[in-house]
Structure 1
Amino acid sequence: MTLPQLSGRPVVTDGGLETDLIYHYDVDLPEFAAFPLVDRGPGRDLLRRYYGDYVDIAARAGAALQLETPTWRASADWGAKLGYDAADLRRVNQESVALLRGLRTDLLVSGAIGPRGDGYVAGDPTDPDQAAAYHAPQIDAFAEAGADLVTAFTLTGPGEAIGIVRAARAAGLPVAISFTVEQNGHLPDGTSLRDAVTTVDAEAAPDYFMVNCAHPTHVAPGLTEGAWRDRIVGLRANASTAGHAELDAATELDEGDPAELARAQTDLRPHLPNLTLIGGCCGTDSRHVAAMWGV
């Protein structure tokens, strides 16, 4: 299929699922994992309420809609911490796709995956082959369930990204790679955003790139001149201007100001000529995304 964001069509996506559920819906999410909600009837109803806000925003904006499954933590290492084995994870990843399919017939369902480690802290350099082997079961589950694409969020270095692209290609799915950056515009492992994009493109090019889990003012320093910026199609910004270390230690939600966040994101547009897919990340909710879309 042709993804609408690659043909220049505006696409709405959702906001900061986990922080929204924790702070606005009073939901406990051990290990910052939302996927166990899919296993409970009330949890499914809650997720439908959450996603329903973005269905409405897309309709008001006259834009296409892409929603991410609540599965950022639904891989082997994180699942094991919550008592989920391989069979459980395969089932819950597939049921997450089915849940979104039931919301609207014409939306794009993206299978969301997260890093094997901490999305805020870079560990040792990741071997791409090991990353491909680790992420393949989750990606295969999405493919079997009929997801339209896979999006890998909050990646801290290029090695894991290369492996994820290889696993997605093996499964026959389109794939987007989303890096996070620190306040200086560099990835947590110190790689510049430019080098991360060009390195991954040279080894295993995804369908497009994104940046997530960073305020627009953190992304801006990383947008150095060059055609590589054309490869960034999506942005899911944090509400807060705080850095990752501050956010990790925070006990209260910094949800910023939706209008100010929308303005800061607009300031990036001249540097991102192919930006079409817009949503939010930590601290954001439907108010922030509606402001970004002017609805």
Structure 2
Amino acid sequence: MNWYSNVVPPKIKALIKREAPENLWVKCPDSGQLVFHKDIEANLFVVPGSGYHMRCPVDVRLTNLFDNGELELLPTPEAPLDPLKFRDIKRYVDKLKEYRLKTGAQDAVTLATGKLDGAQVTVAVQDFEFLGGSLGMAAGEAIVAGAEHALANRTPFLIFTASGGARMQEGMFSLMQMPRTTIAVQRLRDARLPYIVVLTNPTTGGVTASYAMLGDVQIAEPGAIIGFAGARVIEQTIREKLPEGFQRAEYLRDHGMVDMVVPRQEMRETLSRLCGLLTKAPPRRAA
């Protein structure tokens, strides 16, 4: 006999039973380990046992990058909402409204400025939760604006990429962001200002074919998928089986496409050290 079901009066059941919140436990995609969500959040969204790097929310990434979590969000230029009047299952403008409400951001790229170990930096973070981090006119405008802010204030420009590529709902207008962002990066290079790219999971398509692979230093998070076309498309095209781990961060590092693979917990220190080296800043004195 089930004591709880058959003996406990309904009023007492109502007091005992509590709805468990969703996502209380998170399953690691790599090991299958169940981890309490607070433990993952405290570890910068890295699974403690396996080291699997989950997607890191934009606010968490920025807060943990800047000194004392102090930062200034920079405005991003407005762009036409729906130049092609695109519609599939639903209208593109309705999708934008939905994702803006869901993420609290205007588009896929957030800009911020603040101090990293006492040195001013400009940072752009691409959010995969906003339409797959796709590169459209608004995202392109934001990256160009970030580069211009870095130029005007003579700061390094750091960018965290995460994208499925160009935004199909904007057609050729999205593809035009590839040369525009490339020119913005070239202007940073002409001004001898550091441009450092952190490739997160995934970084693919037109983003990889433009600003994501133009950094003075290319850093990748462990296990990140980085490439242009998908692995299955490549296999079907060349009719060959791809090597194990193809397009993963570690494979690309071993074959010279990225400079280093850095765990998220060490990213802040690594970026600070690189900014100091590339700007020839004097070494920081120990407190």
Q: TM-score, normalised by structure 2?
A: 0.37
Q: TM-score, normalised by structure 1?
A: 0.36
Answer 1 or 2: which has greater helix percent.
Answer: 1
Higher RCO, 1 vs 2 (CA within 8 Å, ≥6 residues apart): 1
